[in-house]
Amino acid sequence: MGWLILILVLLAAAFGVLGAVLKAAAFIVLTAILSIVLLVTIGWYVLKHQARRVLDDVDRRMADQQVERFREGDGGELPPPRDDRY
């Protein structure tokens, strides 16, 4: 594989189009790298969004369970949803 690339580069140099070949190769490589970075970034934000939705759902279910458990008890006043003392 390495020999094939070397032969192609030497042929491009012999015909005087080495600059164009290198520019085209750089364009292809940079486009591939940018596409991969973009896909990884989009995937990261989608994963974060889904994790946030799951955590919000779990928090809501836990709060509902606490309210139901409290109502099954003595029926007193509900505790505050969060502690603001600190």
Task: Tell me what pLDDT residue 71 has.
Answer: 67
Task: Tell me what pLDDT residue 9 has.
Answer: 85
Residue 20 has pLDDT above 60, yes or no: yes
Which has more confidence, 9 or 30? Answer: 30
Contact assessment for residue 67 and residue 76, using Cβ atoms and an 8 Å cutoff: no
pLDDT digits (tens, 9 = 90+) for 28-80: 999 999 999 999 999 999 999 999 999 999 888 888 777 777 666 655 566 66
Tell the residue number behind the tokens 């969060």, with chain if given: 82
What does the block give as tokens for 80? 């505050």
Q: Read off the pTM.
A: 0.60
82: helix, strand or coil: coil
Residues 6 or more apart whose Cβ sits within 8 Å of residue 70: 76, 78, 79
